[in-house]
Amino acid sequence: MNLDIISQLVQILKDAPDLGAIEVRRGLFGFWSTVRVSKAGHPAAGNASQVIVGHPAPPALAGPAAGFAPAPAPAAAPAPQLLEIKSPMVGTFYKSPEPGAEAYIKVGSRVAAGQVVCIIEAMKIMNEIESEVQGTVREVCVENAQPVEFGQVLFRVDPNG
């Protein structure tokens, strides 16, 4: 990331006092980047007003600010009453205890606090992930055998359902 883009981000923070932080990450070999914006006074983790947008990184031959445009609004924001089960680690997500087995949970399943909802493999260790919430699963946000990051949303649960 070059200094022109960083100075533009700093200016955005100065001009918008309701913003608390802007986090920018570049993916492997610069192919993808992530921009995370959070409101002031809210912790980044669990912030319902948080916006995460993935987009291709600008080409190396483009001008300094080329490819840096305001992020489009997310297509479908989660309903505010839904609770999120997030990944506690980096690894590979698995929906069932072994290949071919029934998934721990799926859309429409009831989940209880402490119930195993998936496995995340990290460094050849299979880690059972337990729910900290209870309710009905409304969305599974990750595909089986997909890499996940720390804090990535795995499931959205309706506590009233």
The CATH number for 151's domain is: 2.40.50.100
- Report the side by side order of strands in the sheet with 125-130: 125-130, 116-122, 91-94, 147-148
As for how many domains the chain has, the answer is 2
What is the 8-class DSSP label of residue 76?
A: S
What range defines the domain where residue 136 resides? 83-158
Has residue 128 got a pLDDT over 70?
yes
Could you tell me if residue 145 is inside a domain? Answer: yes
Residue 119 domain-assigned (yes or no): yes
Asked, for residue 143, whether it belongs to a domain, the answer is yes
87 and 42 in a common domain: no
Contact 140, 106 (CB under 8 A): yes
**Residue 78 resides in a domain:** no
Residue 33 lies in a domain: yes
Q: CB within 8 A of 109, min separation 6: which ones?
A: 136, 137
Domain annotation covers residue 123: yes
Q: Is the domain of 52 the same as that of 88? A: no
What pLDDT digit, counting tens, does each position of 56-95 carry? 444 444 444 444 455 555 555 554 589 999 999 999 999 9
Say which residue, 152 or 12, is predicted with more confidence: 152
Asked if residue 91 is part of any domain, the answer here is yes
The whole-number pLDDT of residue 41 equals 57
- d(CA 96, CA 101) in angstroms, rounded, equals 6
